[in-house]
Structure 1
Amino acid sequence: MQHEYAIRRRPSLSLPILRKSRSQHRAGTLTLGNLLLDLGGTSFGWAIVLFSLVTLLPLPPGSTLVTALPLLLTTGQMMLGYPHARIPGRLSQLRLDPQRLRRTLLGLRPVTRRLERVLTQRHTWIFAPRNERLLGLVLFLVALALFLPVPFSGWFPAISLFISGIGLVERDGLVTGLGVACGAISVLFTGLVLISLAAGAEALIH
């Protein structure tokens, strides 16, 4: 009973982001780099969480061609065995809209509520250095599916990366695995859509 109560009382996953973004906004220093640094910018987990959130912001169609680039960079670094995420200066200076960030986090509450109930440190072998590159490769492919301008496919890869990033932050191998599994489905879906589009284009040509 005490354990169940502790799970129910777990702080919201979005609380650190909301608090730090509000504080930095008041100070006039709210940028992607500063927020990441405040959250613990050397971890790949927070970088993936933040960059996937930026992708989920209400932006014009086709914006993933730009917003997915930091995710490709971060997961690519993870795949190549970098010790931590390295964010280029120009990208780190990107200013964030705190209201849009807040609305996006509130929109993700159905996802984060479920994660908050189950998150705990487990299956940490998945984060061993020998597995990190493989994990980075899979997440890179998910980020690539997000980057490609395929109709109706943007949200699913972004949410998959968000879940994977939360799992990395909390050292929860089960949640990370869930995010990776959802990401694999999104990669498959993107591939099928691309094949269908190519087949349709070929039929029109011939």
Structure 2
Amino acid sequence: MKPIFIAPEERRRRTSDVLVDLANRCSGKTITLRELMNGLGDRTYGVALIILAAFNIIPFVSTFSGLIVALIGTQLLFGFSRLYLPDRMLDHQLPAERVRSSLTVFSRKVITLEKFIRPRWHFTEAPIVDRFNGMMIMMLGVVIALPIPFANFGPAFVLIIMALGLLERDGVVQVLAAAFGFFIMGVIYTLLSNSLGG
């Protein structure tokens, strides 16, 4: 079992390099989601949260997406090295050429982001930090899922910041996201307490 308070010695690769490598692997007719997930490793958490970002601000739909976010956070909290999905989904065949085009476009977007977000504060790669991030993501997902008008916007914004921090393992961004998360949940708790008390 890996020590949870010690960061791995190997330095983090840039996400854009990982995406380019994955695109180059799409040489056949098809590629499975499992192969993509294996290539992304723990970056699957950041990618999944970014994909869900748009759904987290849509009324009613956010209830369902919030529960998925909470499930993602739970997996990170319990130390899963990558996002778990059912075998049926993982073994689904995808058209390699389309996947390659999508990865190429995504890598270009990530290269732009990497001017501002990059691997920093190596100590934050210690598993204990992921456990904390998982707890934060789980709580934000629960808040998003609650049927409270407009209460999902703040948590959804924090999740995007958290996703970018996890994608690049930028410790500065992860700490900022956690701070924003505590602040927003505090505001929502205060508003609910005042509303119920009144």
Shorter-chain TM range is 0.5 to 0.7
2:77 partner amino acid: M
**Contact 2:165 / 2:174 at 8 angstroms: preserved in 1?**
yes
2:195 partner amino acid: L
Aligned to 1:86: 84
TM-score (norm 1): 0.61
1:150 partner amino acid: I
**Contact 2:49 / 2:159 at 8 angstroms: preserved in 1?**
no
2:36 paired with 1:37 = yes
Deviation at 1:73, TM superposition (A): 0.8
Aligned to 1:130: 128
Shift of the 35–157 alpha-carbon distance from structure 1 to 2, 3 Å rule, reads: farther
Shift of the 65–90 alpha-carbon distance from structure 1 to 2, 3 Å rule, reads: farther
1:172 partner amino acid: D
* C-alpha distance in structure 2 between counterparts of 1:155 and 1:184, whole Å: 14
Measured on the aligned residues, the alpha-carbon RMSD in Å equals 4.0
**Contact 1:52 / 1:71 at 8 angstroms: preserved in 2?**
no
**Contact 1:76 / 1:137 at 8 angstroms: preserved in 2?**
yes
Shift of the 60–70 alpha-carbon distance from structure 1 to 2, 3 Å rule, reads: closer
1:54 partner amino acid: L
Equivalent pairs: percent with the same residue? 24
Q: Give SS of 1:118's match.
A: coil
Higher relative contact order (CA 8 A, sep 6+): 2
Q: Give SS of 2:148's match.
A: coil
Q: Which whole-Å deviations, capped at 9, do the CAs of 1:141-194 have from their partners, x for residues lacking one? A: 222222222221212211211111111111210011122222222211221232
* C-alpha distance in structure 2 between counterparts of 1:90 and 1:149, whole Å: 31
TM-score (norm 2): 0.63
- Which runs of 5 or more residues in structure 2 are unaligned? 1-15, 93-108
* C-alpha distance in structure 2 between counterparts of 1:192 and 1:90, whole Å: 43
Aligned to 1:69: 67
Aligned to 1:142: 140
* C-alpha distance in structure 2 between counterparts of 1:173 and 1:155, whole Å: 23
Aligned to 1:157: 155
**Contact 1:164 / 1:175 at 8 angstroms: preserved in 2?**
yes
